[in-house]
């Protein structure tokens, strides 16, 4: 099933840069920001809250209604990392009141010293990793474009981050203090945990969300529950100013360290 | 609003302790004083600790289980939410290294009463008879000091106590059937069946998994909500929290929550006299005991033994063989993801619901020994996003796009046997945790046989996914489970404990958990850990008071005490509803 991309209720807000919006693949026209991108129009996990157990309901309500304030990062670092997360998980297709806070969740984790239960022996503690990475990413920006990351145009920022993603930085010095692949994994984990724990993201991807005590009943053939929504796909292209749309399968790498701890290849 | 059969949408109005929506117990429980010399002090109330506590309490011993985490009230504490379930996992600091460092936390380490059995996916295959003699057969790895036949009655018994749902005929290893009927298939199970069938590979459908396919006593049937590894609020998935701990408490056993053991005390007579532990406020206590059983799993058990070094035992307690911490094992747990044109919605159904063990045994045509299993897994959105980051290097708009296709993906996990190697080990770092206890530093290195096995297993599982009809197949490399690091054996020079879990060095110090396994097969270890715990309990019960005073090591196999199982957990077969 195919449909039109989601439509905005009103005109394009004046502060929106069209070159940063995803486009309708058939027409090339920018898809204006909407309250719910994705292929499941009308799917709302939050509408099902009365059917959830109280503890889960309270937790998710708190996540939606309460954004922690910044306590770990300095104002300058917060501005820097907010700009980075705008590339790691861009949200220009989301109406401004429906963007999912990422930086605040990461800041909250670092402030409360919540770890994952382990640290790689060649990695510093997480707060130090973020501190070093801020310097390294700024060095990368200087090396490529002779300006700090925050002052670069959007597309150049994307290119800088792609160099980190690829494990091929031009400025290598700071990455001698921690493996670039491990930092990238840490950054991505923090970002996806914040974004995909949010019910607006569940709606976007058609995930059903909590189902206790009510249950899921249609297990086979990917059928929706009566309160879920059938997929209605539309084809879209990434924004014109972006280099993050390409993916690269890594299944030739069969061990975890080979897959994730790629260190810049000095021979090239 | 109406109330569903198995639980309320509203908050529970009871002051009792909820273990699932129907089972409730009274707290507080019996509380021993530190000055009391209890019979058995168990460190860790997880898969093994819960079973040991129950059996020993029912046999009339005075038993305390120290548990570093909380005693869960499942209605109050647990959620249907990935990000909200971190408290179930052991997230205290650990340092991981070697050429192939392991991830810990949510990946393999539980905290709180029930331990790993709270967050396991609950696949419960038995080990194969060949697992007990790997070295004899293949010249690598190790032999167990017991045979499959020794453990066989305990497998059967624990499969009833959990109980396990699965097919009436399971063809691999020692063929057998399961007491509860198989679960219906979700989209991932269907993919595994289709892929395997088209390649002529037999497949086990609907289990074996320790999740109720029908209600029994105070435990409801599965509702297929998919949050198994976030803790089963439904109470359908077995954990010792709901299967064994309630009976233990009713029999006078004590679970002491928020009690972090940090040193085992050795007396002048060469016997242990109790355990030092911190409470949640960081105050230090000492519980006296006639015997100590360490059941902290494959990292915390060696960590505690090493941290208990004292004059005469400078390398750690029970470590005269220099084997404590060594031969740590994880299984290869690579996840193979396949995209299908039609929706799958893999978040429905338990992640664990179908598998094949067709490639479990050594095959002389391979360039490696031992083998692997292929099992269903069902990652929820955060886990799936992390897989896309590794498997496709997705980020930015590419990641947003992949995630919008979440409902089109199915995922299979391989479970590959990694052999025990002495350089894969737990040591102590100089860093200290929030209590001031030295943090474990773990080294893990894949060896030649491991690399070859993982590569072959990954290729085979990708082949199955293609055969299932996936139009795109990718892979995330990772590990699953932990065992070893305090292995059992008959030779005190090369192992830590004997075949009953008694340390070779100290007559009243035992280890009973996943860390005593000499090899791991390609079966999930949970059932084997609980079966070994029930057997060790039978041994201790048969030995009676001699454990507390004598150094005599009777190696006679004990009589199995079915009568000491929790009465509601076996022998019924007919569910009833309240």
Q: Mind listing the pLDDT tens digit for each residue in A59-84?
A: 999 999 999 999 999 999 999 999 99
Q: How far is B395 from chain A (nearest CA, A)?
A: 6
| Record: contact A118-B184, CB cut-off 8 A | no
User: What CA–CA distance (Å, rounded) separates A67 from A69?
Assistant: 6
Model confidence at A263, pLDDT cuts 50, 70, 90, reads very low
Cβ burial of A19 (10 Å; 0-12, 13-18, 19+) is middle
CB < 8 Å from B in window 24-43 of A: 37-39
- Nearest CA to B475 among B332, B337, B374, B378? B337
Q: Mind listing the pLDDT tens digit for each residue in B169-194?
A: 999 999 999 989 999 999 999 999 99
The answer to whether the complex's ipTM is over 0.90 is yes
A3 touches chain B (CB under 8 A): no
A46 touches chain B (CB under 8 A): no
Count CB pairs under 8 A between chains A and B.
279
Q: How far is B284 from chain A (nearest CA, A)?
A: 23
Model confidence at B313, pLDDT cuts 50, 70, 90, reads very high
User: Nearest by CB to B477, which of A122, A243, A253?
Assistant: A253
The answer, yes or no, to whether residue B47 has pLDDT greater than 70, is yes
A99 touches chain B (CB under 8 A): no
User: Nearest by CB to A220, which of B106, B185, B403?
Assistant: B185
A87 touches chain B (CB under 8 A): yes
| Record: contact A88-B84, CB cut-off 8 A | no
Cα–chain center distance at B219: 21
Q: Mind listing the pLDDT tens digit for each residue in B345-363?
A: 999 999 999 999 999 999 9
Strand partners, B440: B428
| Record: contact A219-B478, CB cut-off 8 A | no
The answer, yes or no, to whether residue A268 has pLDDT greater than 80, is no
User: Nearest by CB to B398, which of A239, A246, A250?
Assistant: A246
Looking at residue A7, its pLDDT comes to 64
B524-535: burial string, b at 16+ Cβ within 10 Å, e else? bbbbbbbbbbbb
Q: What angle do CA B140, B144, B149 make, to 5 degrees?
A: 125
Task: Give residue A176's domain range.
Answer: 18-260
Cα–chain center distance at B531: 12
Q: How far is A227 from chain B (nearest CA, A)?
A: 14
| Record: contact B454-A254, CB cut-off 8 A | yes
User: What CA–CA distance (Å, rounded) separates B308 from B264?
Assistant: 5
For residue A13, being part of any structural domain is answered with no
Looking at residue B576, its pLDDT comes to 37
| Record: contact B344-A222, CB cut-off 8 A | yes
| Record: contact A39-B344, CB cut-off 8 A | no
User: What CA–CA distance (Å, rounded) separates A117 from A129?
Assistant: 16
**In sequence order, which ranges of A70-179 are alpha helices (DSSP H)?**
75-88, 103-111, 126-145, 154-166
Name chain A contacts of B105, Cβ cutoff 8 Å.
115-118
Cis preceding linkage at B314, omega within 30: no
- Nearest CA to B338 among B188, B480, B458? B188
The dihedrals phi and psi of B204, each to the nearest 5 degrees, come to -95, 120
The answer, yes or no, to whether residue A50 has pLDDT greater than 50, is yes
User: What CA–CA distance (Å, rounded) separates B405 from B412?
Assistant: 17
Contact B512, B501 (CB under 8 A): yes
User: What CA–CA distance (Å, rounded) separates B222 from B349?
Assistant: 9
Name chain A contacts of B234, Cβ cutoff 8 Å.
212-213
The answer, yes or no, to whether residue B574 has pLDDT greater than 80, is no
Q: How many residues comprise chain B?
A: 578
Model confidence at B8, pLDDT cuts 50, 70, 90, reads low
Whole-model pTM: value is 0.95
DSSP state, residue B455: H
The answer, yes or no, to whether residue B3 has pLDDT greater than 80, is no
| Record: contact A212-B400, CB cut-off 8 A | no
User: What CA–CA distance (Å, rounded) separates B344 from A58?
Assistant: 29
User: What CA–CA distance (Å, rounded) separates B108 from B481?
Assistant: 5
Q: How many residues comprise chain A?
A: 268
Q: Mind listing the pLDDT tens digit for each residue in A8-44?
A: 545 676 777 899 999 999 999 999 999 999 999 999 9
Chain B residue whose CA is closest to A36: B404
For residue A5, being part of any structural domain is answered with no
A221 touches chain B (CB under 8 A): yes
Q: Mind listing the pLDDT tens digit for each residue in B448-487?
A: 999 999 999 999 999 999 999 999 999 999 999 999 999 9
A51 touches chain B (CB under 8 A): yes
A263 touches chain B (CB under 8 A): no
Looking at residue A266, its pLDDT comes to 37
DSSP string, B500-544: TSBBSS-TTEEE-SGGG-S--TTS-SHHHHHHHHHHHHHHHHHHT
Q: Mind listing the pLDDT tens digit for each residue in A221-246?
A: 899 999 999 999 999 999 999 999 99
User: What CA–CA distance (Å, rounded) separates A72 from B173?
Assistant: 54
Strand partners, B511: B294
Q: What are the distances in angstroms from CA B30 to CA A134, B40, B52, B250, B430?
A: 54, 15, 17, 9, 38
Determine what percent of chain B is predicted with pLDDT higher than 90.
90
| Record: contact B97-A248, CB cut-off 8 A | no
| Record: contact A207-B380, CB cut-off 8 A | yes
Cα–chain center distance at B427: 21
The answer, yes or no, to whether residue B317 has pLDDT greater than 90, is yes
**In sequence order, which ranges of chain A are alpha helices (DSSP H)?**
54-65, 75-88, 103-111, 126-145, 154-166, 180-195, 199-205, 256-260
User: Residue B365: which residues within 8 A CB-CB, separation 6 or more?
Assistant: none
Q: What are the distances in angstroms from CA B19 to CA A205, B69, B241?
A: 33, 16, 7
Looking at 3.40.50.300, 3.40.1190.20, 3.40.220.10, 3.50.50.60, the CATH number of the domain B17-569 comes to 3.50.50.60
CB atoms within 10 A of CB B309: 16
The answer, yes or no, to whether residue B13 has pLDDT greater than 60, is no
Strand partners, B38: B289
- B432: tokens are 């200290």
- Nearest CA to A186 among A266, A138, A104, A118? A118
Q: Mind listing the pLDDT tens digit for each residue in B202-252?
A: 999 998 999 999 988 889 999 999 999 999 999 999 999 999 999 999 999
Looking at residue B578, its pLDDT comes to 33
- Nearest CA to B94 among A123, A256, A261? A123
The dihedrals phi and psi of B330, each to the nearest 5 degrees, come to -130, 160
Q: How far is B321 from chain A (nearest CA, A)?
A: 27
Looking at per-residue confidence, does B206 or A3 come out higher?
Answer: B206
Mean pLDDT of chain B: 94
For residue A185, being part of any structural domain is answered with yes
**In sequence order, which ranges of B208-270 are alpha helices (DSSP H)?**
240-243, 245-250
Q: Mind listing the pLDDT tens digit for each residue in A165-219?
A: 999 999 998 899 999 999 999 999 999 999 999 999 999 999 999 999 999 999 9
Query: B29: left (phi > 0), else alpha (psi -120 to 50), else beta?
Result: beta
A226 touches chain B (CB under 8 A): no
- Nearest CA to B513 among B483, B479, B557? B483
Q: How far is B452 from chain A (nearest CA, A)?
A: 10
Q: Mind listing the pLDDT tens digit for each residue in B284-296?
A: 999 999 999 999 9
Looking at residue A267, its pLDDT comes to 34
Number of independent structural domains in chain A: 1
| Record: contact B390-A185, CB cut-off 8 A | yes
User: Nearest by CB to B4, which of A22, A89, A213?
Assistant: A213
Determine what percent of chain B is predicted with pLDDT higher than 70.
95
User: What CA–CA distance (Å, rounded) separates B204 from B216?
Assistant: 23
Q: What angle do CA B18, B482, B111 make, to 5 degrees?
A: 30
For residue A268, being part of any structural domain is answered with no
């Amino acid at each position: 099933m195919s449909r039109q991309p989601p439509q905005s209720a009103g005109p394009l807000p004046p502060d929106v840069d069209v070159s940063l919006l995803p486009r309708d693949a058939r027409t090339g026209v920018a898809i204006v920001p909407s309250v719910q991108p994705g292929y499941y129009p009308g799917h709302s996990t939050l509408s099902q809250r009365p059917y959830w157990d109280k503890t889960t309901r309270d937790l998710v309500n708190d996540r939606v209604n309460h954004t922690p304030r910044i306590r770990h990062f300095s104002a300058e670092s917060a501005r820097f990392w907010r700009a980075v997360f705008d590339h790691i998980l861009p949200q220009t297709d989301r109406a401004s009141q429906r963007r999912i806070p990422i930086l605040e969740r990461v800041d909250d984790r670092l402030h409360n010293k919540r770890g994952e239960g382990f640290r790689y022996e060649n990695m510093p503690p997480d707060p130090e990793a973020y501190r070093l990475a801020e310097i390294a990413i700024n060095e990368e920006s200087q090396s490529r474009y002779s300006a700090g990351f925050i002052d670069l145009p959007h597309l150049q920022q994307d290119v800088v981050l792609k160099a980190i993603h690829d494990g091929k930085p031009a400025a290598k010095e700071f990455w001698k203090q921690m493996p670039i692949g491990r930092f990238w994994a840490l950054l991505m984990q923090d970002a996806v945990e914040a974004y995909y724990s949010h019910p607006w993201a569940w709606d976007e991807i058609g995930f059903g969300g909590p189902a206790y005590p009510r249950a899921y009943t249609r297990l086979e053939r990917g059928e929706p529950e009566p309160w879920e929504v059938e997929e209605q796909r539309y084809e879209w292209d990434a924004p014109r100013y972006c280099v993050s749309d390409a993916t690269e399968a890594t299944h030739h790498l069969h061990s975890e360290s080979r897959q994730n701890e790629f260190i810049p290849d000095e021979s090239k | 609003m109406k109330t569903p059969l198995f639980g309320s949408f509203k908050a529970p109005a009871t002051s009792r302790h909820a273990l699932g929506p129907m089972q409730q117990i009274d707290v507080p429980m019996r509380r021993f004083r530190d000055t009391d010399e209890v019979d058995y002090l168990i460190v860790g109330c997880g898969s093994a600790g819960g079973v040991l506590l129950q059996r020993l309490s029912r046999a009339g011993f005075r038993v305390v289980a120290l548990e570093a985490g909380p005693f869960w009230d499942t209605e109050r504490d647990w959620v249907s939410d990935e990000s909200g379930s971190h408290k179930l996992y052991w997230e205290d600091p650990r340092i991981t290294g070697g050429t192939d460092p392991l991830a810990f936390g949510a990946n393999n380490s539980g905290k709180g009463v029930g331990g790993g059995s709270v967050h396991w996916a609950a696949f419960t295959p038995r080990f194969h008879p060949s697992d007990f003699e790997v070295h004899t057969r293949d010249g690598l790895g190790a032999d167990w000091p017991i045979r499959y036949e020794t453990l066989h009655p305990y497998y059967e018994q624990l499969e009833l106590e959990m109980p396990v749902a699965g097919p009436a005929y399971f063809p691999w290893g020692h063929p057998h059937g399961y007491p509860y009927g198989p679960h219906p298939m979700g989209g991932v199970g269907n993919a595994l069946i289709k892929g395997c069938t088209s390649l002529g590979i037999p497949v086990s459908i609907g289990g074996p998994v320790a999740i109720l396919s029908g209600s029994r006593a105070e435990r409801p049937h599965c509702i297929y909500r998919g949050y198994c590894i976030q803790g089963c609020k439904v109470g359908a998935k077995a954990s010792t929290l709901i299967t064994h701990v309630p009976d233990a408490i009713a029999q006078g056993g004590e679970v002491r929550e928020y009690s972090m053991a940090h040193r085992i005390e050795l007396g002048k007579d060469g016997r242990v006299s109790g355990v030092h532990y911190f409470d949640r406020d960081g105050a230090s206590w000492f519980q006296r005991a006639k015997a100590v059983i360490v059941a902290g799993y494959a990292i915390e058990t060696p960590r505690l033994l090493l941290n208990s070094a004292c004059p005469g035992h400078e390398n750690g307690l029970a470590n005269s063989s220099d084997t404590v911490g060594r031969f740590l094992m994880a299984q290869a747990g690579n996840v193979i993801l396949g995209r299908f044109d039609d929706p799958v919605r893999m978040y429905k159904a338990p992640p664990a619901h179908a598998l094949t063990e067709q490639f479990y045994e050594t095959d002389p045509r391979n360039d490696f020994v031992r083998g692997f299993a292929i099992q269903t897994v069902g990652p929820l959105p955060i886990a799936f996003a992390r897989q896309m980051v590794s498997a496709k290097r997705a980020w930015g708009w590419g990641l947003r796009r992949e995630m919008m296709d979440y409902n089109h993906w199915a995922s299979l996990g391989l479970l590959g046997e990694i052999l025990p190697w002495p350089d894969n080990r737990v040591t102590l770092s100089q860093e200290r945790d929030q209590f001031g206890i030295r943090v474990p530093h773990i080294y893990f290195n894949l060896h030649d046989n491991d690399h070859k096995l993982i590569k072959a297993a990954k290729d085979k599982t990708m082949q199955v996914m293609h055969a299932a009809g996936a139009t795109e197949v990718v892979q995330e490399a990772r590990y699953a489970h932990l065992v070893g690091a305090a292995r059992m054996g008959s030779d005190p020079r090369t192992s830590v404990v004997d075949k009953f879990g008694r340390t070779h060095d100290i007559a009243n110090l035992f280890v009973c958990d996943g860390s005593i396994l000499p090899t791991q097969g390609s079966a999930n270890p949970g059932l084997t850990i609980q079966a070994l715990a029930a057997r060790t309990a039978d041994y201790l019960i048969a030995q009676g008071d001699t454990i507390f005073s004598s150094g005599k090591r009777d190696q006679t196999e004990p009589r199995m005490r079915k009568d000491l199982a929790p009465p509601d957990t076996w022998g019924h077969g007919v569910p009833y509803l309240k």
